[in-house]
Amino acid sequence: MTENVRNVIVHYHIFKNAGTTVDAILHANFPATNGAVEGKYPWDTLTNQDLLDFILANPRLDVISSHQARFPLPQHPNLRVHPIVFLRHPIDRVESVYHFERQQAPDSLSPSVRIAQNTDLKGFVEWGLSDQGTAVFRNFQTIHIAGRQRDMRSARASHADYLVASSRLRELPFVGIVDRFEDSAIALQRKLRSNFPAIDCSTRAVLNRSEGRADSLSARIERIASDLGDTLFDHLLSQNRFDLDLYMQAVFLGAKESGQNVPHDQPIKAPYT
């Protein structure tokens, strides 16, 4: 039965986690068998059954990318899904969201676009952490991987969500790190080559990248902390403590797998001790 198993790469494209670059790499390798599936609105989510239905309805696709597909992985006796997930330091990610939203069309359905286009980073974060803010600002990666909540306008991560996300993270065959993209691309290629021998994940310029940002993660975090001020920065950290922990787990797992020491380019503050 093994020869009848269909291998499909699924890119779980977490918003502002280098997904445009990952999609470009996948499209370069699978230009004719590459597809995408999303819901009707920016805040929608797709269940694993939704994803399975799409995969089965498109038997020629080798690759599928989705911002809105959620775990767990779809299961089928004749299907093997190869998931791609990239994680990012949550504070670095929030600033990237800000710069991205400022570039969108003013009539966008995303509620954060209007705010980003009419305020500075501090105002954007204050709104994002208010009652009107969406899940994008609060443990969004935890919410995404846990896959329990359906409306990203109002979703909030619970400790139970964190435990599910942490467990899934350890079970995933591959987790990339945005600020270590080159090393992650090498690891991804190594993981996929057994089923896709010709795949080439050679690093290319990161696409959709905000201009003028410091190369060092620690330098970016320090500048964000300065822009926000201690009180707001600490509040942002506390509202992303699950994401920060998942990020650190992913860094550790990646370093352990490659035989490297755990990198020390980390934030100058921690959300809790």
Which tens digit of pLDDT belongs to each residue from 135-160? 999 999 999 999 999 999 899 999 99
Query: Which is higher by pLDDT, 232 or 253?
Result: 232
The conformation of residue 73, written as its DSSP 8-state character, comes to P
Both tokens of residue 209? 């990248």
40 phi, psi to nearest 5 deg = -80, -35
Both tokens of residue 229? 């001020």
The residue-averaged pLDDT of 89-109 equals 93
Annotate 175-204 with b (16+ C-beta within 10 A) or e (fewer). Answer: bbbbbbbebbbebbbebbeeebeebebeee
Count helices and strands in the chain by DSSP H and E runs? 11, 6
Question: Which pLDDT value is given to residue 3?
Answer: 65
Residue 149 CA: distances (Å) to CA of 16, 140, 154: 19, 11, 9
Question: Which pLDDT value is given to residue 168?
Answer: 96
The residue-averaged pLDDT of 119-126 equals 97
Using DSSP bridges, classify how beta strands 6-12 and 63-66 pair: parallel, antiparallel or unpaired: parallel
Residue 120 CA: distances (Å) to CA of 33, 95, 148: 41, 10, 32
Question: Which pLDDT value is given to residue 112?
Answer: 87
At residue 107 the predicted structure's pLDDT band, cuts being 50, 70 and 90, is: confident
Bond into 42 cis (ω within 30): no
The residue-averaged pLDDT of 18-29 equals 96
Question: Which pLDDT value is given to residue 209?
Answer: 55
Q: Is the dihedral of CA 173, 95, 269, 159 positive or negative?
A: negative
| Residue 92, pLDDT above cutoff 50 | yes
**Which residue intervals of 103-216 are DSSP H helices?**
111-116, 121-128, 140-146, 159-171, 181-192
Which tens digit of pLDDT belongs to each residue from 189-223? 999 999 999 999 986 555 555 555 557 899 999 99
